[in-house]
Amino acid sequence: MTEIPSIQWFPGHMTKTKRMIKASLPLVDAVVEILDARIPESSRNPDLQSLIEGKPRIVVLNKCDTADESSTQKWAEYYRSQGLTVIAADCRSGKGLNKFASAVKSALASLIEKNKAKGMEGRVLHLMVVGIPNVGKSSFINRLAGQKKAKVEDRPGVTRTKQWVKLSDDMELLDMPGVLWPKFEDMSVGEKLAFTGAIKDDVVDVETLACRLLYVLNDLYRNELTARYKIQTEENEDGYELLQKVGKARGMLVSGGEVNTERAAITVLDEFRGGKLGRITLELPT
Ligand SMILES: Nc1nc2c(ncn2[C@@H]2O[C@H](COP(=O)(O)OP(=O)(O)O)[C@@H](O)[C@H]2O)c(=O)[nH]1
Ligand SMILES: [Mg+2]
């Protein structure tokens, strides 16, 4: 097990988060789980299932603009085969969110049927949003709620502790995302979270991280890598060699002609996160 400094306060924080999610659960009909489409499993909280005790779940494969389209489809099929309702979305532009309402209705079909039988057709459906830091929970809520959010807050008598955002006449969202933690214990999970920027760079060494990313990209997306930096690479080439090549190709040299590897590393990470290398998914369903 690798020690990442930030996991030292993990247990206490986690307990508080779990308590908060549990306290809100009785108020909602379904849970919306936001995942990063580039690393769906790694950006998932492994405890969520037991935490939400069988509440219907809608999975949002977010940031799908940065992920490989065919891989996102595979992930969607995979989660659907587990009985989950799935949409792919880009919460920065709002693309894909038009499918959200119908996804909720399909996830809650049996509840809606029951309501209808009880003569409570059109009863408001309540939803809670959860996910690990940086997956786009706030972007998701803001995108869906948009202007409506301000209106709800302006209404007199609306409690400020539990903010409900009205999405439509029959759907409301809890305006307080549940922040969960990813599974840090697994080295490769931690690494992927660091690649995408979910773990802050101050807890990892940028050069080591960039070397690992380059190694992985050379394995999975060699064409994209060589095209972006106009370099030639070998199969299984050492990450540090790759970093040197990138730095050289970009003219990132210090006096004496050595490559400024720190600058090269920052560039690689920034460009990967900014989608400059293309649409990349770092893991596939097994
Ligand atoms: N490319 C892309 N970036 C996104 C998307 N959704 C969110 N982001 C970015 O991801 C970062 C974290 O988003 P935020 O909503 O604050 O995440 P939170 O921590 O889960 O609330 C921000 O820089 C967002 O602009 C998306 O669908 N595509
Ligand atoms: Mg947020």
- How remote is the CA of residue 114 from the centroid of ligand 1, in Å? 36
Question: Which tops the pLDDT comparison, 111 or 4?
Answer: 111
Dihedral-angle region of residue 131 (phi above 0 means left; psi in -120 to 50 means alpha; beta otherwise): left
Work out which ligand 1 atom sits closest to the CA atom of 179.
20
Average of per-residue pLDDT across 229-238: 98
**Partners of 199 in the β-ladder:** none
- Predicted confidence (pLDDT) per residue in 128-137, tens digit: 999 998 999 9
| Protein fold of 205-273 | Conserved Hypothetical Protein Ylqf; Chain: A; domain 2 (1.10.1580)
pLDDT at residue 235 tops 90? yes
Residues framing ligand 1 (Cβ under 6 A): 62-63, 65-66, 90-92, 131, 133-139
Give the whole-number percent of the chain exceeding pLDDT 90.
68
**Structural domain boundaries in the chain:** 5-179, 205-273
Residue of 92, 137, 273, 281 to test ligand 1 pocket, by largest number of atoms within 8 Å of CB:
92
Phi, psi of 253 (to 5 degrees): -115, 150
The least confident of 16-20, 154-158, 195-199 is 154-158
β-strand pairing of 171-174 with 164-168: antiparallel
For residue 76, the tally of other CB atoms under 10 A from its CB is: 21
Task: Report the candidate in 244, 184, 243 with the shortest Cα–Cα distance to residue 213.
Answer: 243
Work out which ligand 1 atom sits closest to the CA atom of 132.
20
Question: Which tops the pLDDT comparison, 176 or 72?
Answer: 72
Average of per-residue pLDDT across 223-229: 98
- Predicted confidence (pLDDT) per residue in 47-75, tens digit: 888 888 789 999 999 999 999 999 999 99
- How remote is the CA of residue 274 from the centroid of ligand 1, in Å? 12
Q: How far apart are CA 121 and CA 111, in angstroms?
A: 10
- How remote is the CA of residue 121 from the centroid of ligand 2, in Å? 33
Question: What Rg value do the Cα atoms of the chain yield, rounded?
Answer: 21
| Protein fold of 5-179 | Rossmann fold (3.40.50)
Q: What is the pLDDT of residue 180?
A: 85
The least confident of 6-15, 185-194, 267-276 is 6-15
- Residue 156: partners with Cβ closer than 8 Å, 6 or more residues away: none
Number of the ligand closest to the Cα of 96: 1
Number of the ligand closest to the Cα of 197: 1
Helices 109-117 and 100-107: angle between axes, nearest 10 degrees: 70
- How remote is the CA of residue 206 from the centroid of ligand 1, in Å? 21
pLDDT at residue 14 tops 70? no
Distance of CA 244 to the CA centre of its chain: 31
- How remote is the CA of residue 91 from the centroid of ligand 1, in Å? 7
| Cα distances (angstroms) measured from residue 146 to each of 4, 109, 138, 175 | 37, 26, 11, 12
Instruction: Show the tokens assigned to 36.
Output: 């990063």
Q: Is the pTM of this model over 0.85?
A: yes
Mean pLDDT (the chain) is 89
DSSP3 helix / strand / coil % (the chain, rounded to 5): 50, 15, 40
Number of the ligand closest to the Cα of 141: 1
